[in-house]
Amino acid sequence: IWMNSFCQLKAGGGFPMPGRRLWRKTGFKCPICSKSVASDEMEMHFIMCLSKPRLSYNDDVLTKDAGECVICLEELLQGDTIARLPCLCIYHKSCIDSWFEVNRSCPEHPAD
């Protein structure tokens, strides 16, 4: 295959198409949204992912204990400042702010 590719390139034929098709099929995992994306669509996908606004949330102070924050795995305790996402999931405000620096979706509902 390498010799065939070299000969085609030297003869002005460019790279063989089968290799290009293989690249398209394998793709990459987007570091922003974690979706698999074909390599020839990666640049456009990055632009779309980076231009999406992050989820908005309402911040509040808990009036009673509310289970565990799935980001830091610590308890959500009365008096903690929390963020409530549109899907109604709640997290420590500082945890979801850090999460949103890397991801743009709910940790428990990434497809939403």
Which has more pLDDT, 88 or 55?
A: 88
The reported pLDDT for the residue numbered 25 is 52
pLDDT range class, residue 5, cuts 50, 70, 90: very low
Q: How confident is the model at residue 47 (pLDDT cuts 50, 70, 90)?
A: confident
**58-61 sheet: strands from edge to edge:** 58-61, 81-84, 90-92
Would you state the pLDDT for residue 95? 95
pLDDT band at 67 (very low <50, low <70, confident <90, very high): very high
Measured CA to CA in angstroms, residue 99 lies from 76, 105, 107 at distances of: 16, 9, 8
Domain boundaries, the chain: 2-51, 58-102
Band the pLDDT of 31: cuts 50, 70, 90: confident
- Count the Cβ atoms, other than its own, within 10 Å of residue 20: 13
Of 6-10, 61-65, 76-80, 82-86, give the lowest mean pLDDT range: 6-10
Q: What is the mean pLDDT of residues 59-75?
A: 94
Q: Is domain 58-102 in CATH 3.30.40.10, yes or no?
A: yes
Highest mean pLDDT among 24-28, 52-56, 59-63: 59-63
